[in-house]
Amino acid sequence: MVTSIVFNGAAIAADDTDYITVTVSKRDGAGGSAVVLGTLDSRAANNGAITAFVDKAFTLSVVAGALGLWAAQARAINLKTQEVIGAEQFYHARVSAASSHTVTGLLLGWSVTSIGGATDFQVKHSTTIMGDSTSDLNVNQSSTIYVLAGQSLNRGAGGLVVNPLIYITRIDQPGTTAYVDILYLKPRAVDAGEW
């Protein structure tokens, strides 16, 4: 929804002979006719004089629906996320057997909760680090972490961990459920022309 349009530039006196008119319109990108969003007219009876480098508001359209932006038009304006690294994402899984859980991105934190019995797991990352290209590089100090029944273990990322992997190595009793949560930053695709 367009809520305002302003002009900010050199001064223009209100003059019914020597004046400017500016019209801002939108198109649907499919060959449709232009729809006026707002107009600026420096004649005294309309928007009047413009003070140098002070916002001068356009007169917005009063036509029903004219100020709305459809999805295709929003893409044309190319609104972008301000996050350079990526968008914060949350991975959640509920499992009852040994399993592997990996995401693509930068680890922010993780949690494993075990209900009904104990769960063993490992936290790893699957990137190449100093020539080690195996996906078996442990993030935690010990090779396996043990979570008691009804307990939860969680931790924020203590360093740069890319493409984290949580591997449930063993669930010790039938009926045990493990809940795996991973908070991470997912890389954002770079738009054409960005660098």
Residues 6+ apart with CB under 8 A from 114: 147, 148, 149, 150, 151, 152, 171, 176, 177, 178, 179
Asked whether residue 94 falls in the same domain as residue 176, the answer is: yes
Asked whether residue 93 falls in the same domain as residue 162, the answer is: yes
Q: What is the pLDDT of residues 18-53, one digit of tens each?
A: 888 999 888 766 777 888 989 999 999 999 998 988
Range of the domain at 97: 86-187
**pLDDT over threshold 80, residue 63:** yes
More confidently predicted of 17 and 142: 17
Asked whether residue 134 falls in the same domain as residue 178, the answer is: yes
Residues 6+ apart with CB under 8 A from 162: 105, 106, 107, 125, 127
Q: Structure tokens of 56?
A: 């001068």
Q: Does any domain span residue 195?
A: no
Q: What is the pLDDT of residues 172-181, one digit of tens each?
A: 888 899 999 9
Dihedral, 61, 64, 66, 71 alpha carbons, nearest 10: 150
Q: Does any domain span residue 26?
A: yes
Asked whether residue 49 falls in the same domain as residue 123, the answer is: no
Handedness of CA 151, 157, 158, 164 (dihedral sign): positive
Dihedral, 156, 157, 163, 164 alpha carbons, nearest 10: -60
Determine the residue type at 21: T
Mean pLDDT, residues 8-20 taken together: 86
30-56: buried (b, 16+ CB within 10 Å) or exposed (e) per residue?
A: eeeeebebbbbbbbeeebeebeeeeeb
**Using an 8 Å Cβ cutoff, are 145 and 123 in contact?**
yes
**pLDDT at residue 59 in the model:** 92
Asked whether residue 97 falls in the same domain as residue 136, the answer is: yes
**Using an 8 Å Cβ cutoff, are 189 and 103 in contact?**
no
Asked whether residue 50 falls in the same domain as residue 99, the answer is: no
Model confidence band, residue 105 (pLDDT cutoffs 50, 70, 90) = confident
**pLDDT at residue 82 in the model:** 36
**pLDDT over threshold 50, residue 78:** no
Q: What is the pLDDT of residues 130-172, one digit of tens each?
A: 444 444 445 554 467 888 888 888 887 766 777 888 889 888 8
**pLDDT at residue 39 in the model:** 92
Asked whether residue 134 falls in the same domain as residue 157, the answer is: yes
Asked whether residue 104 falls in the same domain as residue 172, the answer is: yes
Asked whether residue 171 falls in the same domain as residue 98, the answer is: yes
- Find the CATH number of the domain harbouring 177: 2.60.120
Q: Does any domain span residue 194?
A: no
Asked whether residue 99 falls in the same domain as residue 176, the answer is: yes
Number of domains the chain contains: 2
**pLDDT over threshold 60, residue 191:** no
**Using an 8 Å Cβ cutoff, are 95 and 170 in contact?**
no
